[in-house]
């Protein structure tokens, strides 16, 4: 992810002009919407393309702030936000997005449901692989491992983009790891920073669904505008990220991360990786593929199940979340599908990469962010309190309760992966204006760079920010 | 190996189990030349010119592919020691030959890396060549041979997967996949139609005749591809019916079912049945195995499908056969592999819909080239030039080939059984541009390349071989000239102003339809629509739906096309047809005027978004 490191390239003149502009707009009642962005990728493009919106550098005087997580953790609680100010994270989003906390919340939700004698619903919380937090649950893990064996995956909770992940099928294979992480079994970590790094030991999904012999995971976007009541919008488009190498569970291949991890950051180092081509498939293509092969019902069922995972994960963390009416959050869900067409939740990202790796990616992300801004509705265009079932490519899937859609007799249980005319419309925009060069050099007020040739190649590297991790 | 039940004639193409079925269960699809095999002069001249050009290109390719100073590449050769060792190593590690063969930069491709960049995107035989050959007025088909084929091939490079990468990197992308049409001689535009077609010894069917032929497409029938989108109960009914049809195993019933579209998920079973690739239901077929042939339905939890899948052993046998062909390809590279590679790379590898299947498709095509079982079953017989000892070999082997050619060895049984002359390549068919696109959609139906291969081979033999054959065959079993003739006549009957308008702009409508027809719309339409179209091809056992759909597209885009002021605009307007829907369009063009306006849904559902033309 490209952090806003405003290197002092700005000339003094620009600065003065900017300051004067700020003074000017602050003086105007109901003037332009002042926005600020910590990121210099598609969100920046989208914000900048908004007519009558103005960028601001101010720490406090903004109407809309696309902040990085660090800022949220360190600054948000120090600020008092005015009614109209909007910011893109909830203060304790990590309840959902930190791997170990997510698992903890899911387990707790399941137990709670069992206590309430809602066994059927509790049984639905079966969409995450068996997971132990090590070192704290090391003994339980070893017990389970000895009992059931199989291939397991170790993931450091604090790292992104596939770093530090490895697979193993013998306890001896983690002995190196244990040496590196000087801890003794059973020792509870007290001070988070000084203790050994926490890992998740997770049962590996050994028979993933393959397309063309290759493994993939899905990146799906969901927007939460409120946790009380919980209000979720699901974006129709998304993509599947494929590995470059043919999937195999042969023993020799256990250590070959190119076979097992779909992270772009990993795959771009694989032999034969073709940055131009990428390894992404739109969810719509995947839905077509599954419907063609297994029938429309099977596809419908699968995508409905994925939608339910997204809802249940949020329901599980809802009690822990501090609702804040200034906040909204765009989550990037990583979902895998196994060979029985059952979806599994891998993790949730609070800062899904918004860097565009290629044309399709740019189209997807800018269209989504524009729709997001429409939903957040800083201009107050919509009637207060009115929520629409569908806003651009977003479909409302939960609004304090299930959203029933009987507007059409053929309405699908989930619109995920369905035709999204936003993709096509945005492609027209892309063709008309050309893609902005991704991020860094964009200093001018109206970036209208010439052709798009370089964008794809340069962006592919930056696209590694996907931050997804995968078993 | 199937030598024990080698079919006695092409009629039983790949249907060993039909040997016990009533004769004529699968009718002949071979190319009967009308009037006792006499080919009209003009068509014969076109064919001769085309074949000469292809032979000439083959020799050029051999010369250009070899390192400078060395003799031209022979037809086949032994892989280098390094490549052989690499292959050996991967096979020893447990990889299947098809997996090794498929990878673009794997050891299987090592020997092909000699191909100079100038040849990238080459094709032996592409739509421009076919157009030129058919356009050459009777006496002088020389124009084609004189053409710089490399330039021609390049002109049709562009984004070869139409509509899938519109406006992609290529500079000629603005005109899309039809860019090459502009390179055709302008004089073509003033002609009423492709000259070689006018002498076909039969009258093209009238609209009324087509309505009769396509009566099952009538909107009063419910169709998968239209009605299943709005009627949930219809989906259920169709799925249940498909199950029954596949379980019963009747060829005719399956075809009759396929005309109305096969519900997704059941396509593999129904097509296999219709093409006679399945064992009819019998007591012995009780093994509940699911060997990939069923498209993995059992995974989707669709119980009951298992009973349909008769032979796991059959699948294993197919897989073994396929792997053997792949192993052969690894052991003995062939000059034509280069051509296949250049078709698969841009056609499938760079296509958004198909890139994941690049490896299986490559393996399928390389295996196909070597499959001696293909030649005797081709609906369009292989040209004599390809016979061993024929002109191809003579032309290509001016210097003595260092290795003996072992064409017959792996498929000797088939050659012996059919009494056929071995060909180069053994399949008796030259890879043409778009061959890869004919294979790629099938990868949406099966997990295993071997299963896709089996049905690809059957469909190529029965249908696709006709797409590049210049035979004079008449409807309902036309080859390319017949298909284009039907297209021309139908467009003229339905929309003379449009026809005239295109001609005024210097475009021959048949040339515009040619690339769609040559790939049976694969790559031009989204996969699910392609498969819905192929449902009708299988169901009617005819390629006639292709020209019908081509006319329908033209008529549907009529307002845009009429607004176009130049050839380039027309090409741009037709470059992306990826939003069109097959079945409603065909229904609309055939029946919209016939019985009142009650069928509005057919047209209304035709397109989701207009295309910017002019």
Show residues of chain B in contact with A246, CB under 8 Å.
Answer: 99, 359
Q: Tens digit of pLDDT for each residue in B316-332?
A: 888 999 999 998 888 88
**Binary contact (B264, A211; C-beta < 8 A):** no
Geometric angle at alpha carbon A252, from B449 and A240, rounded to 5°: 50
Residue A270 lies in a domain: yes
Q: What percent of chain A has pLDDT over 90?
A: 29
Q: Tens digit of pLDDT for each residue in A248-277?
A: 777 667 777 777 777 766 776 666 666 555
Mean pLDDT of all residues in B121-142:
69
Backbone angles phi, psi at B519, to 5 degrees: -110, 15
Show residues of chain A in contact with B169, CB under 8 Å.
Answer: 276, 453
> Is the Cβ of A441 closer than 8 Å to some Cβ of chain B?
no
Rounded to whole angstroms, how far apart are CA atoms B526 and B108?
31
Residue A6 lies in a domain: no
Residue A459 lies in a domain: no
**Binary contact (B608, A277; C-beta < 8 A):** no
Looking at the predicted structure, is the pLDDT value of residue A172 above 90?
A: no
Å between A289 CA and nearest CA of chain B: 6
Looking at the predicted structure, is the pLDDT value of residue B420 above 60?
A: no
Closest-CA residue of A relative to B232 is: A410
Is the domain of A123 the same as that of A145? no
Show residues of chain B in contact with A285, CB under 8 Å.
Answer: 352-353
Show residues of chain B in contact with A297, CB under 8 Å.
Answer: 235, 239, 265
Residue A190 lies in a domain: no
Å between A285 CA and nearest CA of chain B: 7
Residue-wise over A76-93: b if at least 16 C-beta within 10 A, else e? beeeebeeebbbbbbbbb
Strand partners, A53: A33
Looking at the predicted structure, is the pLDDT value of residue A330 above 90?
A: yes
Is the domain of A99 the same as that of A224? yes
Strand partners, A167: A153
How is residue B218 written in tokens? Answer: 């009538």
Closest-CA residue of A relative to B608 is: A421
DSSP assignment, residue B348? I
| Residue A437: CB atoms within 10 Å | 17
Residue A273 lies in a domain: yes
Q: Name which of B99, B300, B608 is nearest A295 (Cβ-Cβ).
A: B300
Q: What's residue B575's pLDDT?
A: 87
Backbone angles phi, psi at B23, to 5 degrees: -60, 145
Show residues of chain A in contact with B444, CB under 8 Å.
Answer: 288-289, 292-293
CA distances in angstroms from A421 to A281, A391, A394, A397, listed in the order given: 17, 12, 11, 19
Is the domain of A258 the same as that of A135? no
The two beta strands, A86-87 and A64-66, are parallel
Is the domain of A46 the same as that of A136? no
Ranges of beta strands (E only) in A89-158 are 131-134, 152-156
> Is the Cβ of A58 closer than 8 Å to some Cβ of chain B?
no
Is the domain of A420 the same as that of A359? yes
How is residue A234 written in tokens? Answer: 């699901």
Mean pLDDT of all residues in B597-607:
38
Which is more confidently placed, A442 or A215?
A215
Q: Tens digit of pLDDT for each residue in B368-401?
A: 998 988 888 888 777 666 666 555 555 554 433 3
**Binary contact (A296, B531; C-beta < 8 A):** no
**Test the A interface: residue of B262, B355, B358, B360 with most A CBs within 10 Å:** B355
Strand partners, B415: none
Å between A9 CA and nearest CA of chain B: 33
Mean pLDDT of all residues in B402-424:
43
Q: Which of A204, A228, A246 is the last residue of a domain?
A: A204
Rounded to whole angstroms, how far apart are CA atoms B594 and B211?
9
CA R_g for chain B: 23
Residue A1 lies in a domain: no
Select from B368, B375, B359 the least CA-distant residue to B337: B368
Closest-CA residue of A relative to B579 is: A424
Å between B165 CA and nearest CA of chain A: 10
| Cβ B579 vs Cβ B609: under 8 Å | yes
Among A253-262, A278-287, B95-104, B303-312, the range scoring the smallest mean pLDDT is B303-312
Is the domain of A158 the same as that of A50? no
Å between B199 CA and nearest CA of chain A: 42
Q: What's residue A189's pLDDT?
A: 46
Residue A153 lies in a domain: yes
B132 Rama sector, left if φ>0, alpha if ψ -120 to 50, beta otherwise:
alpha
B271 — pLDDT class (breaks 50, 70, 90): very high
> Is the Cβ of A152 closer than 8 Å to some Cβ of chain B?
no
**Binary contact (A212, B357; C-beta < 8 A):** yes
Closest-CA residue of A relative to B167 is: A431
Is the domain of A54 the same as that of A145? no
| Residue A6: CB atoms within 10 Å | 10
Strand partners, A235: A394
Mean pLDDT of all residues in A230-245:
90
**Binary contact (A246, B267; C-beta < 8 A):** no
Ranges of beta strands (E only) in B475-605 are none
Q: Tens digit of pLDDT for each residue in B359-370?
A: 899 999 999 998
Show residues of chain A in contact with B174, CB under 8 Å.
Answer: none
| Cβ B55 vs Cβ B75: under 8 Å | no
Select from A452, A444, A447 the least CA-distant residue to A18: A444
Looking at the predicted structure, is the pLDDT value of residue B296 above 60?
A: no
Strand partners, A334: A219, A347
What number of CA atoms fall less than 13 Å from residue B25's CA on the CB side? 25
Q: Name which of B264, B356, B444 is nearest A295 (Cβ-Cβ).
A: B264
Mean pLDDT of all residues in A308-326:
92
Select from A230, A220, A224 the least CA-distant residue to A315: A230
Show residues of chain A in contact with B350, CB under 8 Å.
Answer: 277
A302 — pLDDT class (breaks 50, 70, 90): very high
The CATH number given to whatever domain includes residue A391 is 3.30.470.20
Q: Name which of B105, B359, B608 is nearest A212 (Cβ-Cβ).
A: B359
Those residues with Cβ within 8 angstroms of residue A376's Cβ, 6 or more apart along the chain or in another chain: A64, A86, A225, A328
Closest-CA residue of A relative to B349 is: A277
Q: What's residue B108's pLDDT?
A: 46
Q: What's residue B232's pLDDT?
A: 80
Which is more confidently placed, A378 or A337?
A337
**Binary contact (A292, B447; C-beta < 8 A):** no
Q: Which A positions 80-119 lie with beta carbon below 8 A of chain B?
A: none
> Is the Cβ of A292 closer than 8 Å to some Cβ of chain B?
yes
Å between B356 CA and nearest CA of chain A: 5
> Is the Cβ of A212 closer than 8 Å to some Cβ of chain B?
yes
A435 — pLDDT class (breaks 50, 70, 90): low
Q: What's residue B132's pLDDT?
A: 80
Is the domain of A135 the same as that of A125? no
Q: Distance from CA of residue A423 to its chain's centroid?
A: 19
Looking at the predicted structure, is the pLDDT value of residue B231 above 70?
A: yes
Q: What's residue A22's pLDDT?
A: 47
Is the domain of A331 the same as that of A418? yes
A164: containing domain: 130-172+197-204
Q: Tens digit of pLDDT for each residue in B469-488?
A: 888 888 888 999 999 999 99
B431 Rama sector, left if φ>0, alpha if ψ -120 to 50, beta otherwise:
beta
Rounded to whole angstroms, how far apart are CA atoms A232 and A308?
11
Q: Tens digit of pLDDT for each residue in B12-64?
A: 333 333 333 333 344 444 444 444 455 677 788 787 777 777 777 777 777 77
Is the domain of A106 the same as that of A251? yes
Mean pLDDT of all residues in A5-29:
48
The secondary structure element, H or E, covering residue B272 is helix B267-274
| Structural domain total, chain A | 2
> Is the Cβ of A381 closer than 8 Å to some Cβ of chain B?
no
Q: Tens digit of pLDDT for each residue in A184-229?
A: 544 444 444 445 678 889 999 889 999 988 889 999 999 999 998 9
Looking at the predicted structure, is the pLDDT value of residue A388 above 80?
A: yes
Q: Which A positions 222-261 lie with beta carbon below 8 A of chain B?
A: 242, 246, 250, 252
Show residues of chain A in contact with B531, CB under 8 Å.
Answer: 292
**Binary contact (A410, B232; C-beta < 8 A):** yes
**Binary contact (A292, B445; C-beta < 8 A):** yes
Is the domain of A163 the same as that of A47? no
Show residues of chain B in contact with A293, CB under 8 Å.
Answer: 264-265, 295-296, 300, 444-445
DSSP assignment, residue A306? H
**Binary contact (B352, A285; C-beta < 8 A):** yes
Looking at the predicted structure, is the pLDDT value of residue B543 above 50?
A: yes
Looking at the predicted structure, is the pLDDT value of residue A458 above 60?
A: no
Rounded to whole angstroms, how far apart are CA atoms B495 and B287?
55
pTM (2 d.p.): 0.80
Q: How many helices (H) and strands (E) does chain B have?
A: 29, 0
Show residues of chain A in contact with B265, CB under 8 Å.
Answer: 291-298
B276 Rama sector, left if φ>0, alpha if ψ -120 to 50, beta otherwise:
left
Strand partners, A155: A200
B235 — pLDDT class (breaks 50, 70, 90): confident
Coil/strand/helix, residue A28: coil
Residue A179 lies in a domain: no
Is the domain of A272 the same as that of A370? yes
The two beta strands, A230-242 and A166-168, are unpaired
Among A1-5, B252-256, B591-595, the range scoring the smallest mean pLDDT is A1-5
Closest-CA residue of B relative to A215 is: B356
Q: Tens digit of pLDDT for each residue in B546-559?
A: 999 999 999 999 99
């Amino acid at each position: 992810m490209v952090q806003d490191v405003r290197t002092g390239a700005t000339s003094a003149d620009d600065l003065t002009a900017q300051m004067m502009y700020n003074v000017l707009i602050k003086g105007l009642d109901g003037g332009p919407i002042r926005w600020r962005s910590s990121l210099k990728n598609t969100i920046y493009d989208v914000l900048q393309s908004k007519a009558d919106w103005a960028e601001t550098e101010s720490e406090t005087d903004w109407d809309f702030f696309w902040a990085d997580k660090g800022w949220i953790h360190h600054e948000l609680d120090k600020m008092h936000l005015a009614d109209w100010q909007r910011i893109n994270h909830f203060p304790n989003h990590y309840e959902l997005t930190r791997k170990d906390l997510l698992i903890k919340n899911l387990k707790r939700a399941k137990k709670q449901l069992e206590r309430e004698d809602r066994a059927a619903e509790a049984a639905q919380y079966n969409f995450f692989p068996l997971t132990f937090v090590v070192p704290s649950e090391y003994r339980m893990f070893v017990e389970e491992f000895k009992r059931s064996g199989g291939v397991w995956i170790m993931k450091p909770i604090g790292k992104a983009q596939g770093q530090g992940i490895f697979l193993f099928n013998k306890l001896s294979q983690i002995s190196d790891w244990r040496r590196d992480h000087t801890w003794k079994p059973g020792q509870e970590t007290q001070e988070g920073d000084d203790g050994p790094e926490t890992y998740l030991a997770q049962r590996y999904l050994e028979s993933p669904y393959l397309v063309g012999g290759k493994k993939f995971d899905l990146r799906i976007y969901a927007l939460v505008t409120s946790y009380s009541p919980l209000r979720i919008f699901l974006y129709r488009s998304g993509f599947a990220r494929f590995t470059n190498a043919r999937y195999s569970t042969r023993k020799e291949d256990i250590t070959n991360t190119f076979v097992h991890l779909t992270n772009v950051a990993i795959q771009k180092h694989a032999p034969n990786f073709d940055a131009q081509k990428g390894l992404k498939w739109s969810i719509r293509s995947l839905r077509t593929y599954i419907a063609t092969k297994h029938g429309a019902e099977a596809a419908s069922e699968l995508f409905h199940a994925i939608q339910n995972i997204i809802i249940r994960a949020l329901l599980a963390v809802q009690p822990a979340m501090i609702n804040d009416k200034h906040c909204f959050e765009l989550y990037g869900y990583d979902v895998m599908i196994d060979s029985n067409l059952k979806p599994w939740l891998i993790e949730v990202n609070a800062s899904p990469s918004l860097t565009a790796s290629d044309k399709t990616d740019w189209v997807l992300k800018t269209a989504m962010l524009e729709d997001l801004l429409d939903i957040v509705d800083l201009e107050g265009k919509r009637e207060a309190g009115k929520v629409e079932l569908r806003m651009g490519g977003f479909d409302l899937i939960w609004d304090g309760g299930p959203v029933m859609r009987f507007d059409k007799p053929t309405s699908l249980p989930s619109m995920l992966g369905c035709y999204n005319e936003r993709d096509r419309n945005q492609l027209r925009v892309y063709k008309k204006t050309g893609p902005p060069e991704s991020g860094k050099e964009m200093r001018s007020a109206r970036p209208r760079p010439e052709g798009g040739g370089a964008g794809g190649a340069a962006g592919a590297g930056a696209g590694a920010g996907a931050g997804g991790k995968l078993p | 190996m199937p030598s024990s039940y080698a079919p006695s004639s092409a009629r039983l193409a790949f249907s060993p189990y039909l040997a016990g079925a009533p004769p004529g269960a699968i009718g002949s699809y071979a190319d009967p030349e009308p009037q006792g095999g006499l080919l009209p002069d003009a068509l014969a001249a076109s064919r001769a010119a085309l074949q000469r050009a292809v032979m000439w290109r083959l020799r050029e390719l051999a010369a250009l592919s070899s390192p400078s100073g060395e003799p031209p590449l022979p037809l086949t050769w032994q892989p280098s020691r390094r490549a052989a060792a690499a292959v050996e190593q991967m096979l020893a590690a447990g990889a299947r030959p098809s997996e090794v063969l498929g990878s673009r930069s794997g050891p299987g491709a090592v020997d092909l890396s000699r191909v100079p960049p100038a040849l990238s995107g080459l094709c032996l035989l592409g739509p421009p060549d076919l157009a030129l050959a058919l356009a050459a007025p009777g006496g002088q088909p020389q124009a084609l041979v004189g053409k710089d084929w490399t330039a021609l091939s390049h002109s049709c490079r562009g984004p070869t997967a139409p509509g899938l990468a519109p406006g992609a990197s290529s500079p000629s992308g603005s005109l899309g996949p039809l860019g090459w049409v502009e390179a055709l001689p302008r004089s073509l535009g003033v002609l009423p139609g492709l000259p070689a077609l006018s002498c076909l010894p039969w009258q093209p069917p009238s609209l009324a005749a087509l309505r009769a032929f396509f009566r099952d497409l009538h909107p009063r029938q419910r169709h998968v591809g239209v009605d299943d989108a709005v009627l949930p109960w219809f989906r259920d009914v169709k799925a249940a019916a498909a199950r029954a049809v596949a379980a019963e195993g009747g060829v005719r019933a399956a075809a009759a079912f396929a005309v109305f579209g096969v519900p997704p998920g059941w396509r593999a079973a129904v097509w296999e049945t219709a093409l006679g690739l399945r064992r009819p239901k019998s007591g012995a077929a009780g093994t509940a195995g699911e060997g990939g042939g069923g498209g993995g339905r059992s995974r989707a939890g669709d119980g009951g499908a298992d009973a349909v899948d008769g032979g796991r052993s059959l699948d294993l046998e197919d897989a073994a056969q396929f792997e053997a062909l792949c192993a052969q390809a690894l052991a003995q590279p062939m000059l034509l592999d280069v051509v296949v590679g250049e078709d698969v790379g841009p056609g499938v590898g760079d296509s958004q819909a198909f890139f994941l299947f690049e490896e299986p498709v490559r393996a399928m095509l390389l295996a196909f080239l070597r499959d001696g079982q293909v030649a005797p079953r081709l609906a369009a017989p292989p040209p004599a030039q390809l016979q061993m000892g024929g002109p191809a070999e003579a032309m290509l082997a001016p210097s003595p080939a260092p290795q003996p050619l072992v064409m017959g060895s792996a498929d000797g049984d088939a050659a012996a059984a059919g009494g056929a002359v071995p060909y180069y390549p053994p399949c008796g068919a030259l890879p043409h541009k778009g061959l890869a696109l004919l294979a790629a959609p099938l990868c949406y139906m099966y997990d295993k390349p071997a299963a896709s291969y089996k049905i690809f081979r059957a469909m190529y033999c029965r249908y696709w071989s006709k797409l590049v054959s210049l035979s004079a065959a008449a409807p309902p079993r036309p080859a390319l000239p017949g298909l284009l003739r039907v297209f021309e006549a139908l467009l003229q009957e339905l929309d003379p102003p449009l026809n005239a308008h295109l001609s005024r702009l210097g475009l021959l409508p048949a040339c515009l339809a040619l690339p769609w027809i040559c790939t049976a719309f694969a790559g031009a339409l989204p996969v699910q629509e392609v498969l819905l179209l192929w449902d009708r091809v299988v169901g009617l056992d005819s390629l006639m739906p292709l020209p019908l759909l081509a006319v329908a597209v033209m008529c549907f885009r009529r307002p845009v096309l009429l607004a176009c002021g130049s050839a380039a605009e027309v090409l741009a307007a037709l470059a992306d047809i990826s939003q069109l829907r097959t079945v409603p369009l065909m229904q609309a063009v055939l029946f919209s005027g016939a019985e009142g306006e009650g069928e509005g849904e057919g047209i209304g559902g035709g397109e989701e978004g207009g295309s910017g033309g002019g």
